[in-house]
């Protein structure tokens, strides 16, 4: 069930806006609050958002704004980057249902009570609709939640990846036609899928999109887009896009053959029926192993992978006899992650890391979800990743990506002050839960005693050092990946 947020009614918003638009950002910081005497809640189903969750939401948005220069002046590129991060954060953390998100009064509360400093930093001296929510397509926060809502794909490795396909002006062309087109996430996702396939270099993309959307509008009386499968819908949209490109090229001096060549180049030779969905193309993991789901990007939250190598004197912890016993988290459960606030989820992650760190994020997430009695699906991973990023930003923990991309499941987490690597017995860990640095340290330890050239024999000795059973083929693959990542 969604949460209910305070609503600031129109009679209060205009006076606040007239006052705030002339104040400095530092002054507005002092006006931020989690409540207002004139705020109301609607009498519909759902729990009222707690003051704690509102504070956490404020902290999250302020942290994102700081990455783009807040409270100082910013530039266009940094503000655009903030908008994209903001969209994903608001949609994933607020737990709003669309009916609640359709209320401008909710967004007015966020802009004028909870986050006035961020709102007026993002749009200095803004026109009223940027903060009053008289037009949600222009509101500083509301428009970004709705962008995320329309592109959100919970089954994808990055549910908000499509936010990057179109800029704000282009996306507004779709949302401005929301009665016919922009109210359907199914159709919007398909538009973005198909548009992302096109190579429009040499064409005016804005004109092309405008013409394309007009053609879709003409189709709406005759085509029920919602009833079409992804593949069929993509085919319809590609045909409309082909008509658009053909029409635009017909106004040029190109010959018929040259126009056809250019059309083919725009579509990259893809078949009409091909329905590319933006899949990562990752191969399924073997039975018993977790699939490498890739949640939202972690690039700004990682520590540098260029730390001292596992074999160095720095950052390694192990006993004189080789491995130390693996310390397993033995505390109580934390409850359903979906019922916890962002800070509480971050503290739960830190508690597991305190006991087992350095530890792979996937193991931490499995422990938390198992203790809560819920499956570790993509949605659960998504909220735990958000909490991990928050824990890193607030310095509860540190994170090092094992593969340097967006795969947070294979990130090694530790508390500040914990060594980068501790050589331990395998314990209850699954194979994909052993940090790569730890495996390479085990290899170094084996090689220091007796240089081994044979890979199978090396895997056996490393497995023996970790107090493990005979190595499986999967273990050998993971060992090779670690060696390729860190080297000897």
pLDDT digits (tens, 9 = 90+) for 145-156: 999 998 898 878
Query: Binning pLDDT at 50, 70 and 90, where does residue 178 land?
Result: low
pLDDT at 416 over 70: yes
Task: Name the DSSP letter for residue 155.
Answer: T
For residues 56-86, b (16+ Cβ closer than 10 Å) or e, as one string? bbbebbbbbbeebebbeebeeeebeebbbbb
Calculate mean pLDDT across residues 330-359: 90
Domain map of the chain by residue range?
1-151, 165-279, 299-486
Whole-angstrom distance, CA of residue 322 vs CA of residue 440: 13
Please provide residue 90's backbone torsions phi and psi, each rounded to the nearest 5 degrees: -60, -45
At 283, the pLDDT band (50, 70, 90 cuts) reads very low
Q: What is the mean pLDDT of residues 10-37?
A: 94
Residues 237-254 pLDDT 10s: 999 999 999 999 999 999
Residue 482 has pLDDT above 90, yes or no: no
- Nearest CA-CA partner of 145 in 208, 103, 206: 103
What per-residue confidence (pLDDT) applies to 477? 84
pLDDT, one tens digit per residue, over 424-479 is: 988 899 888 888 888 888 888 888 877 877 788 888 888 888 887 778 888 888 88
pTM surpassing 0.85? no
The rounded distance, in Å, linking the Cα atoms of 113 and 28 is: 10
Q: Are 418 and 358 contacting, i.e. CB atoms less than 8 angstroms apart?
A: yes
The rounded distance, in Å, linking the Cα atoms of 261 and 239 is 17
Burial bucket for residue 224 (CB in 10 Å: 0-12, 13-18, 19+): exposed
441: CB partners within 8 A, 6+ apart: 310, 311, 316, 318, 421, 423
Q: Tokens 């990743």 label which residue?
A: 385
CA distance linking residue 146 with residue 138, whole number of Å = 11
Give one DSSP letter per residue of 322-343, joined into a string.
S-B------S-----GGGS-HH
User: What is the pairing mode between strands 3-4 and 47-48?
Assistant: parallel
**Residues of 231-248 as b/e, b for ≥16 C-beta within 10 angstroms?**
eebbbbbbebbbebbeeb
Q: How many helices (H) does the chain have, and how many strands (E)? A: 20, 9
Whether pLDDT at 300 is above 50: no
Count of positions (residues) in the chain: 488
Q: Which residue, 408, 293, 307, is CA-closest to 349?
A: 408
């Amino acid at each position: 069930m969604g949460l209910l947020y305070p609503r600031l009614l129109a009679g209060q918003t205009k006076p606040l806006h007239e006052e705030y638009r002339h104040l400095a950002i530092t002054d507005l910081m002092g006006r931020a609050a989690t409540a207002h005497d004139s705020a109301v809640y609607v009498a519909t189903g759902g729990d009222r958002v707690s003051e704690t969750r509102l504070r956490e939401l404020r902290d999250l948005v302020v942290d994102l704004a700081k990455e783009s220069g807040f409270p100082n002046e910013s530039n266009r590129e940094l503000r655009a980057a903030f908008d994209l991060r903001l969209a994903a954060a608001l949609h994933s953390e607020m737990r709003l249902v669309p009916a609640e998100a359709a209320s401008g009064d909710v967004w007015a509360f966020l802009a004028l009570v909870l986050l006035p400093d961020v709102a007026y930093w993002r749009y200095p001296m803004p026109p009223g609709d940027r903060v009053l929510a008289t037009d949600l397509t222009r509101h500083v926060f509301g428009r970004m939640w709705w962008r995320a809502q329309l592109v959100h794909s919970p089954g994808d490795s990055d549910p908000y990846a499509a936010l990057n396909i179109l800029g704000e002006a282009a996306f507004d062309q779709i949302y401005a036609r929301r009665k016919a087109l922009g109210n359907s996430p199914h159709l919007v996702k398909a538009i973005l899928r198909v548009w992302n396939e096109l190579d429009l270099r040499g064409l005016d993309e804005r004109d092309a999109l405008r013409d394309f959307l007009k053609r879709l509008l003409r189709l709406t009386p005759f085509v029920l887009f919602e009833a079409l499968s992804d593949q069929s819908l993509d085919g319809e949209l590609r045909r409309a896009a082909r008509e658009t490109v053909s029409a635009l090229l017909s106004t040029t001096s190109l010959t018929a053959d040259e126009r056809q060549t250019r059309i083919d180049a725009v579509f990259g030779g893809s078949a009409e029926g091909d329905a590319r969905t933006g899949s990562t193309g990752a191969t399924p993991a073997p039975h018993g192993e977790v699939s490498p789901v890739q949640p939202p990007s972690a690039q700004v939250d990682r520590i540098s992978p260029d730390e001292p190598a596992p074999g160095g004197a720095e950052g390694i912890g192990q006993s004189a006899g080789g491995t130390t016993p693996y310390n397993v988290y033995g505390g109580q459960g934390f409850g359903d992650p979906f019922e916890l606030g962002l800070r509480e989820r971050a503290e739960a992650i830190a508690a597991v890391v305190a006991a087992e760190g350095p530890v792979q994020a996937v193991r931490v997430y499995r422990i938390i979800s198992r203790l809560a009695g819920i499956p570790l699906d993509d949605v659960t991973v998504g909220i735990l990743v958000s909490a991990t990023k928050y824990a890193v930003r607030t310095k509860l923990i540190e994170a090092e990506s094992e593969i340097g991309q967006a795969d947070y499941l294979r990130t090694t987490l530790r508390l500040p002050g914990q060594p980068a690597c501790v050589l331990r017995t395998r314990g209850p860990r699954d194979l994909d839960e052993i940090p790569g640095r730890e495996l390479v340290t085990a290899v170094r330890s084996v090689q220091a005693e007796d240089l081994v050239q044979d890979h199978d024999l090396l895997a056996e000795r490393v497995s023996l050092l970790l107090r493990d059973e005979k190595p499986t083929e999967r273990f050998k693959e993971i060992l090779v990946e670690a060696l390729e990542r860190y080297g000897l």
